[in-house]
Structure formats: C-alpha cells, structure tokens
Amino acid sequence: MNPQFLADGLLMGAMIGLGAIGVTLTYSILRFANFAHGEFVTWGAYGTLAIIGLIGFAYGGDISEIAPFSFGWPLIIAGLIAALLTGLMALALDRLLFSRLRAKGTAIIMVMASFGASMALRSLCEFFFTSQPRYFSRDIQMAIEILPGMRMTPDQMFMIGLTAVLVTAMHLLMTRTTLGRSMRAVSENPALAGVVGIDVDSIVRATWLIGGALAAAAGVMSGIVVQIRPFMGFDLLLPLFAAAILGGIGSVPGAVIGGLIVGLAEALAVPLIGANFRAAVAFALLIAVLLIRPTGIFGVRE
C-alpha cells in the first residue's frame, strides 16, 4: 500500500484533534454536546480570511510569503486575532443562549439549541461570505518527500508542527496550572469545585474562549490545506465528536489521539474501500467505541 495515506491521515487527524479538544472540554464541563462547535471552525477560517483582507487593504499591495510557505505574516496575525474573536463569539453564544437554558433546561434542550445556533451561524456565514469556496492562497506548493513514498508540502508540515505545539501547551495548561486544574475540577464535580473556592462561571467562560480559539486554529489549518467553505465546520462535526468520544470525554490527550485515529482511519479507507465511504468511517468508529468501550481510551467511568 502507498504509505502516503499516513501523511494524509496525520494531517487530517491533527485538524480533527484540535477541534475535538473544544468539543471534549465543553462536553465535560458544560455537560452537553455542542453541535455549534463546527461553526467555530468555519468562522475562525472566514474571520482569518476577512482580517487578512483588512491587513492587505491597510498595507496596500502584496505582502510577500514567508518561504517556503504559501502564506505571509498577515495570516499568522489574522489567525491569532480570529482565534480570539472566535473565542469571544463562543462566549457571546453562551451568554445569549446556553447560559439561559442551563439555568432551567436539561441537556437535550441545550443540544437542540446548539443545532439551531449551528444553522443560524452557518446561514449568517453564507450571507456574508457567499457559498463560493475561498482560498488563503491559490499557489500550488511542491510536496517534499519526507519518507520513502510519503510526501508533504511545507504548509502541511507547518500545520502538524503547530498542532503539536498547541496540544502540548493545552496539556501543560490542564495538568500544571490552576486554571487547568480548576477546569478538571469543574468537569468532575461542579458543586465541590465551588466549595473549594473555584468560581465555576469564570471556568465556563475560560472553556468557551479556549474551545473557540482552538476550533478557529483547526479552521485556519483546514482552510490552508483544503479550502474555506461555509459547510467546512459542519462537515467536520461528526469526526470531531467521534474523536472526542473515542479519546474519552474530558481528556485533552484523548481528543488528540482520537483525532489522529479518526484521521488515519479515514485516510486508510480511501485506498481500501474507496473515497465514497470515507465519511462513513468516523461513524463506524463512533458506533464501535460506544458499543465496546463507551468511556473511550482515556475516559473514566462516572
């Protein structure tokens, strides 16, 4: 078999893993499946695109790329700003919608509301940016042979490196800092978290900010290596949930490893059973995990 699927799967898995961190955090801390999470991915990508446009407008003319990548410094700056804005958007969505329902509703009401929010955000995106696919760059990059039979473009390698940095940072945050420990505490037992002095509301806010920002990072990655479309986040939703559940809800390393497994499985499905069935792989994995080990790889039995 062509080992290229490993490179493709790794890249796809890195994107899914980044997005799944947000899913797993909101799921474990707020106790509901947020189906609007995919829209944070989409809005992160479009936000970056819009900010790059603004930077280009302010500077006038071309800004050269950073060799050997297809993008220049505006994308990095725009990505950072868009990540912050997407985090704030997630926070605003919580303030306007979820926090009101949380006070009185049950999990299923929140899930349904997130479906609604997802559709509204996606339509809003189509309204502003149209449904035409957009690209950060139309340049064609040459893939470099990194291992026998395995090729990657410099952009793709950058993305994998970036994912590794973000995931390591997240892992350190969760295990070494008071914020991370507090997030784990709220996820395990919100009432006890309050008793030990943790302001649960501020932890919820931090969770939305972090989840939204990481989703935006996944969106930018997806935009660079594939394209930017209003449905890009929604199409990623199932793999995101599959990864989060596979890794064990609440576990950051779990989400990333789950993402890599889903990404590699999808990539492997292409040569084995055909590209048409690629999307079904995440589904099949999800069902298999729920049947065999519902708590996931790193999950703890409640």
105: amino acid identity, one letter: G
User: Using alpha carbons only, what angle is made at residue 204 by residues 201 and 205, rounded to the nearest 5 degrees?
Assistant: 90
By CB under 8 A, tell whether 249 contacts another protein. no
Q: Which of 188, 205, 268, 283 binds another protein (CB under 8 A)?
A: 188
Query: Which of 195/291 has CB closer to another protein?
Result: 195
Residue 144 — φ and ψ, nearest 5°?
-105, 140
Cα separation of 95 and 5, whole Å? 42
By CB under 8 A, tell whether 195 contacts another protein. yes
Nearest distance, CB of residue 250 and another protein, angstroms:
9
Q: Which of 181, 235, 277, 297 binds another protein (CB under 8 A)?
A: 181
By CB under 8 A, tell whether 105 contacts another protein. no
Q: Which of 37, 122, 184, 229 binds another protein (CB under 8 A)?
A: 184
Give the closest residue to 237 by CA, choosing from 117, 75, 80, 132.
Answer: 117
Cα separation of 98 and 138, whole Å? 39
By CB under 8 A, tell whether 191 contacts another protein. yes
By CB under 8 A, tell whether 178 contacts another protein. yes
Cα separation of 187 and 30, whole Å? 8
Which H/E stretch holds residue 152?
Answer: strand 150-152
Nearest distance, CB of residue 177 and another protein, angstroms:
10
Residues in the chain, how many?
Answer: 302
By CB under 8 A, tell whether 103 contacts another protein. no
Query: Which of 192/275 has CB closer to another protein?
Result: 192
Q: Which of 182, 208, 222, 261 binds another protein (CB under 8 A)?
A: 182
- Enter the DSSP assignment of 134: B
By CB under 8 A, tell whether 104 contacts another protein. no
Q: Which of 65, 120, 194, 277 binds another protein (CB under 8 A)?
A: 194
Cα separation of 180 and 21, whole Å? 13
Q: Which stretch binds another protein (CB under 8 A): 84-92, 99-107, 179-187, 267-275?
A: 179-187
Q: Taking the chain, what is the end-to-end CA distance rounded to the nearest angstrom?
A: 41
